[in-house]
């Protein structure tokens, strides 16, 4: 068993060297599943071993690999390449993200086609969702290009710092009627909590107003 572990460790080391070499040849630095498997076979890495090898290289920061069905066909062999991908979304140098909303069809203007080919955009956006940089605002079919392009995503970091209206003005006031309100003030909010809350409120309520640190809306009338 010790011999088997040593043999696999050697395979990982040699395979990593090949990945580093592939970085210098490929632009953008990505492999599809078929090419990745063929490359692994050159080092006698079997299908049973490939998952473990990929997980190891992912943890080392050599590749970015997810075993999820919708992402397993895209292996990023230079994670540094994703830094520009992230900065292209959160930068203030463009005006394509309005009020925190990214229209998928605008990605061709944000990501340079030589660096980020258009056919990769759906999967790259899903990687951003894994990092919780963006959140889908609606369900769409990944295999339907036109449907995907019509979709929208929320970019919390691009939300305005303040609401576009005084929150107190959102709630109607009635004469001779007692109104009750409840306000919560907490010392700590888990990172990303408000992002999920905004998405859920936008799905359930009408006339939603949202900003970086809050959200308000009305329950739809039956």
Answer yes or no: is pLDDT of 198 > 70. Answer: yes
Least confidently predicted of 10-19, 55-64, 100-109, 181-190: 181-190
Burial of residue 106 (CB within 10 Å: 0-12, 13-18, 19+) is middle
Identify which has the larger pLDDT, 24 or 209: 24
Q: What's the whole-number average pLDDT of the chain?
A: 82
The C-alpha atoms of residue 127 and residue 121 are separated, in whole angstroms, by 10
* Contact present, 66 and 72 (Cβ < 8 Å): yes
Pick left, alpha or beta for residue 207 (phi over 0 → left; psi -120 to 50 → alpha; otherwise beta): left
pLDDT for position 75 = 93
pLDDT for position 1 = 42
Q: What does the block give as tokens for 196?
A: 């999920």
In the chain, the domains with their CATH numbers are 2-76 (1.10.10), 81-158 (1.10.10), 167-172+179-218 (no CATH)
Q: Pairing between strand 135-136 and 152-154?
A: antiparallel
End-to-end CA distance of the chain: 66
The 10s digit of each residue's pLDDT in 50-106 is 989 999 999 999 999 988 777 888 999 999 998 888 887 877 666 888 888 899 999
Burial of residue 4 (CB within 10 Å: 0-12, 13-18, 19+) is exposed
């Amino acid at each position: 068993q010790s011999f088997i572990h040593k043999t696999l460790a050697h395979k990982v080391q040699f395979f990593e060297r090949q990945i580093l070499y592939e970085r210098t040849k490929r632009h953008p630095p990505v492999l599809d599943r078929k090419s990745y498997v063929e490359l692994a076979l050159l080092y006698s890495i079997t299908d049973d071993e490939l998952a473990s090898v990929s997980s190891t290289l992912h943890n080392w920061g050599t590749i970015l690999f997810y075993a999820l069905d919708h992402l397993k066909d895209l292996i990023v062999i230079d994670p540094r390449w994703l830094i520009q991908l992230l900065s292209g979304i959160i930068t203030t140098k463009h005006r394509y993200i309005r009020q925190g909303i990214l229209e998928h069809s605008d990605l061709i203007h944000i990501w340079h086609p030589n660096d980020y080919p258009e056919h990769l955009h759906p999967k790259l956006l899903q990687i951003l969702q894994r990092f919780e940089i963006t959140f889908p605002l609606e369900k769409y079919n990944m295999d339907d290009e036109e449907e995907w392009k019509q979709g929208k995503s929320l970019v919390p970091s691009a939300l305005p710092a303040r609401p576009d209206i005084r929150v107190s003005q959102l709630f109607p006031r009635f004469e001779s009627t007692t109104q009750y309100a409840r306000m919560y003030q907490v010392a700590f909010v888990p990172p990303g909590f408000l992002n999920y809350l905004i998405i859920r409120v936008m799905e359930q309520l009408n006339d939603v107003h949202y900003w970086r640190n809050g959200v308000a809306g009305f329950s739809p009338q039956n």
